Chains A and B, each alone.
Chain A
Amino acid sequence: MSQTPEQQAESAKEIRDAMRVVPQVAHGEPAVWLAGGALAMAVLIITGMVGLIVYQGGRAFWPDPIAKVRASDGSEHLGEIQQVGSVPADEANGGAKRVLLRSENFRWSGSHASWIVTDPNFEPTYPEWAVLVELMEEGRIIGQPTYFRVDGKVLESDPASVWAAYNEHRGQISERTREIERLTKGTLAKLTNRQADARLNARKAELEYGTDSAEHKQALADMDALLASLAKEQSDIDRKIADLEEINHRYEIGFLFQDGTEVFRPMADINRMVPANRLTLVGRLGVYLDRWREFLTEDPRHANSQGGIWPALFGTVVMTMIMSIMVVPFGVLAALYLKEYAKPGFFVSLVRIAVNNLAGVPSIVFGVFGLSFFCYIVGAQIDEWFFTASLPNPTFGKGGILWASLTLALLTLPVVIVATEEALSAVPQSMREGSYGCGATRWQTIQRVVLPRALPGIMTGMILAIARGAGEVAPLMLVGAVKMTQDLPIDLSQAPYLFPQRSFMHLGFHIYDLGFQSQDSEAARPMVFATTLLLIGIVVGLNLGAIWLRARLRRRFRAAR
């Protein structure tokens, strides 16, 4: 197809003309706005979410002042003001106000908070001696401390002197409480373990030598002797505990509620008494920090809605670490084979697609798999081989932190494989050639050149896996996370110190349990926010640790150019 010079000039001119006209869209302005808007939206959502949780979780333990509010009907109520609003029906005639008052005393009043309808221009007062009391087992109460009683005799009867007496005796009483706890959790628990061991030995003898064999009878006799001596030890300890408790129960504080109820509680039952309206800013800060300390380091109380979350914190961190230790080497080796050894082809592509799809499988499916495979097949087999004596009670054949970690390792495996493969692809071929040129074998090349160079990328995969694994809840419910346990998977006071078969508490599951499964989720709400904040903190913390590590590695391999 040939054109005359005129035709060529014609079409050249046409092209030149077309190039002069630039449509507005081609400048890309709308695209910039679209992309920028999307980013702004994303940033807004993230900061909003994090901000809300930080705010709510951060203020959960701040001691609010205790207000006295007079209702329209003349009754008076004491509590922390949570919200003030107007009553919609009365808006037309001046508008009555309503106040959401957190009045506590759930055990006596049946509610944690209630709406109080007040006059439009209500003024709350703040009685000096209104106190918030955190009880060990019965939630929180708000009232005035009016009596101090020892052995049933009232010694003090005005709030100031009751407060003074409380502070005077508090030290000794918590000393005794701690002693009781030490006896219960340490000595008594050890006794129980020894009793269980004795029974287990007898059972082992029975299994090994047959029922009523000489060995079995001997073991039974040993067991009985041991149990008898242990029983004596136990009764000694029980008596000691009872004595301590008796002394502690002699000291009581009486509280007067706003509705006139008088309630006496032993001082040992009082975890903390906060005279919220008398506190200075420093005092408030002290209470705030002490509550955080309790939250982070102590066991939960009162159906998890009070006390701390230490076992959950510990369980989450341990589980995440076991998971990382399992998934990283496994995933890296798998990716190494896919990338470095396997010849690219149909089968390798198939495997790669399968791995990528594995990442999209709903996590609960992994939970079901973990339960049916790890717990019921692997665990049951382990029980049969090594823990015959304690059957039919399962040891490994049930949910536990090891199985939970393995399940999550499976769940995060695709993340690690994909990230590692990408990191391996980013290693320049020239580096591999250089190594082969020096006479290195394939494994030497991988080990000394490829892996070190790919390490930062592999770390990225690990970070992603941690972030995914630490926040996962659904599969854990099936393979070992429980509402409440005080037995930690690592216990240095008890041989063999590591208990991979133990069920554990997990922050994510704890949030779910507090928020949705608790008897009074209203009371647990501050705990939900604080726990969420902590979970976010842990995930961010683990990530920052890994990122820091990665940055250090990167610095080592950074090129000058």
Chain B
Amino acid sequence: MSDTMQPPIETNAPMIEPEEVAPSPGRTKAGNLFEAIAQGAQFQTSLHEEMEELPCVVNVEDFNLWYGKSQALFNVSLSLPIGKVTALIGPSGCGKSTLLRSVNRMNDLVDGVQTKGSMTLAGESIYAAGADVIELRKRIGMVFQKPNPFPMSIFENVVYSLRIAGIRKRSILQEACEQSLQRAGLWEEVKDRLRSSALQMSGGQQQRLCIARAIAAQPEVLLLDEPCSALDPIATGRIEDLIEELQGEYSILMVTHNMQQASRVSAYTAFMYLGRLVEYGPTESIFMNPHLSETEDYVTGRFG
């Protein structure tokens, strides 16, 4: 699982320039690029020029990942702008979650994962040989698909990261708990029952609790892995509002299946397909004026 490892699969398929298949505006045949990718062709991500000058916190370069023998990510390069929400979209199985979970090395928990390429957090390599995974994860907050509060009180849930970091001072814990819950818009609802079990809350509350838990440790990056997929529309709305509020304070990388959600809350959008990053740019131009016809097909619902 180190970046020096040789990829087990080498592809000799010819390089295809996306521009060839999809010359801008008057696009014609959709699906050529998808077919080419499915056949294993290498290609260059269509990166919008606005992305190039942005200051970024996470930098992914030529990142490859294998689950055992099957490759899940192919030469992904992506930089995550500071203080903005970046959405990862794409059909199921395209590697969005894998990419997200690579950022805080959650994939280490899976047997037989190998990586190649580099990934940095604030300039420090994430996959370097001496990198401390525990420290890395403390700097990155994560919220999962299904709300996963721990079997303990609401208070203990929120200050969990602080507790395991060894912070014992009551005043600090209480302050952090209140602030995080307030940030997550949950304080008013639960301030009278901080001692009761977190498992007795509703699903939407639980997810907001998980967000509070993730931001309590003051992380540099927040990873959201389809945070609303298990929630009803009203709870989803609240979470989306919350994500918009957190924008600016945190750099957020978010996986979503919901195009509306991506267009509503994110500043930048990356479209992935079969482990490749296809197009990456400001959300507005990805949705209104994508460079590739494939992207347009996907975001408008004609494909996927």
Q: Do A and B make up one complex?
A: yes
Q: How far is the CA of A453 from the CA of B217 in the complex (A)?
A: 23
Answer whether residue B106 sits at the interface, using C-beta atoms and an 8 A cutoff. yes
How long is the Cα–Cα vector from A433 to B160 in the complex, in angstroms?
A: 13
Asked if A431 contacts B148 (CB within 8 A), the reply is yes
Q: How far is the CB of A456 from chain B (nearest CB, A)?
A: 10
A430 to B225, CA, bound (A): 12
**Contact (A433, B150) CB under 8 Å given A438-B213, A438-B217, A440-B164:** no
Kindly provide the distance from the CB of B194 to the nearest chain A CB, expressed in whole angstroms.
15
- Whether B151 and A437, one on each chain, are in contact in the complex, defined by CB atoms closer than 8 angstroms, is no
A16 contacts partner chain B, Cβ-Cβ < 8 Å: no
One digit per residue, 1 when the CB lies within 8 angstroms of any chain A CB and 0 when it does not, for chain B 106-137 equals 10010100000000000000000000001111
Complex Cα spacing A62 to B200, Å: 52
- Flag whether B238 is at the interface (Cβ < 8 A): no
Q: Identify which of residues 156-180 in chain B touch chain A, using a CB-to-CB cut-off of 8 Å.
A: 160-161, 163-165
Docked-complex contact B164 and A428, CB < 8 angstroms: no
Distance in Å: Cβ of B250 to nearest Cβ of chain A: 15
Q: A439-B137, A558-B199, A560-B201 are in contact. Are A434 and B164 (CB under 8 A)?
A: no
| A497 within 8 A of partner (CB) | no
Chain A residues positioned under 8 Å from B151 (CB to CB): 431, 449, 452-453, 556-557
In B195-228, the 8 Å CB interface with A consists of: 197, 199-203, 210, 213-214, 217
Q: Is B200 a contact of A436 with CB atoms below 8 Å?
A: no
Interface residues of A in 438-464 (CB under 8 A from B): 438-441, 444, 448-449, 452-453
Whether B164 pairs with A438 at a CB distance below 8 angstroms is yes
B206 CB to closest chain A CB (Å) equals 9
In the complex the two chains form, what is the Cα distance from A439 to B199 in whole Å? 21
How far is it, in angstroms, between the C-alpha of A186 and the C-alpha of B265 when the chains are bound? 83
Residue B65 CB within 8 A of the other chain: no
Of B111, B134, B200, which is within 8 A of A439 by CB?
B134
Residue of A nearest to B203 (CB): A561
Contact B109 A433 (CB under 8 A): yes
- A448-B164, A556-B197, A560-B202 known; A434-B144 Cβ under 8 A: yes
B132-154 contacts to A (CB < 8 Å): 134-138, 141-142, 144, 146, 148-152
CB-CB < 8 A to A452: which residues of B? 150-152
Residues from 23 to 46 in B contacting A, C-beta threshold 8 Å: none
Tell me if B104 is interfacial: C-beta within 8 Å of chain A. Answer: yes
Asked if B137 contacts A434 (CB within 8 A), the reply is no
Contact across chains for B137 and A557 when beta carbons are under 8 A apart: no
Question: Measured between alpha carbons, how far is A439 from B216 in the docked complex, in Å?
Answer: 12
Least Cβ–Cβ distance between B75 and chain A, in angstroms: 26
- Residues A557 and B199 in contact in the complex (CB < 8 Å), given A437-B137, A439-B217: yes
Range, interface on chain A: 20 to 34
Asked whether, in the complex, the Cβ of A448 is within 8 Å of the Cβ of B200, the reply is: no
State A22–B85 Cα separation when bound (angstroms). 59
**A444/B200 in contact, CB under 8 A:** no
Name which residue of chain A comes closest to B135, CB basis.
A439
Contacting residues, chain A, for B163 (C-beta < 8 A): 448
**Complex: A448 Cα to B161 Cα, angstroms:** 11
Query: In the complex, what distance in Å separates the CA atom of A558 from the CA atom of B149?
Result: 12
| A435 interface hit (Cβ, 8 Å) | yes
A437→B223 CA distance, assembly (Å): 10
Contact digits for A401-445, partner B, Cβ 8 Å, 1 yes 0 no: 000000000000000000000000000101101111111110010
When the two chains form their complex, are residues A433 and B148 in contact, meaning their CB atoms are under 8 A apart?
A: yes
Q: Which residues of chain A have C-beta atoms less than 8 A from B104's C-beta? A: 437
In the complex, A452 Cα to B152 Cα: how many Å? Answer: 8
Interfacial residues of chain A within 177-235, with CB under 8 A of chain B in the complex: none
Residue A495 lies at the interface, judged by CB distance under 8 Å to chain B: no
**Would B148 and A428 count as touching, CB distance under 8 A?**
yes
| Max count, chain A CB within 10 A of own CB: residue among B111, B138, B149, B199 | B199
Task: Name 5 interchain pairs, CB-CB below 8 A, sorted by A.
Answer: A438-B213, A438-B214, A440-B134, A449-B150, A558-B200
Given contacts A428-B148, A430-B148, A439-B137, 10 further A-B contacts (CB under 8 A): A433-B144, A434-B148, A437-B104, A438-B213, A439-B161, A440-B134, A448-B160, A453-B151, A557-B197, A560-B201
Residues of B in contact with A (beta carbons under 8 Å apart):
104, 106, 109, 111, 134-138, 141-142, 144, 146, 148-152, 160-161, 163-165, 197, 199-203, 210, 213-214, 217
Question: Which 8 A/B pairs are nearest by Cβ-Cβ distance?
Answer: A439-B138, A437-B142, A439-B137, A434-B148, A430-B148, A438-B161, A560-B200, A557-B151
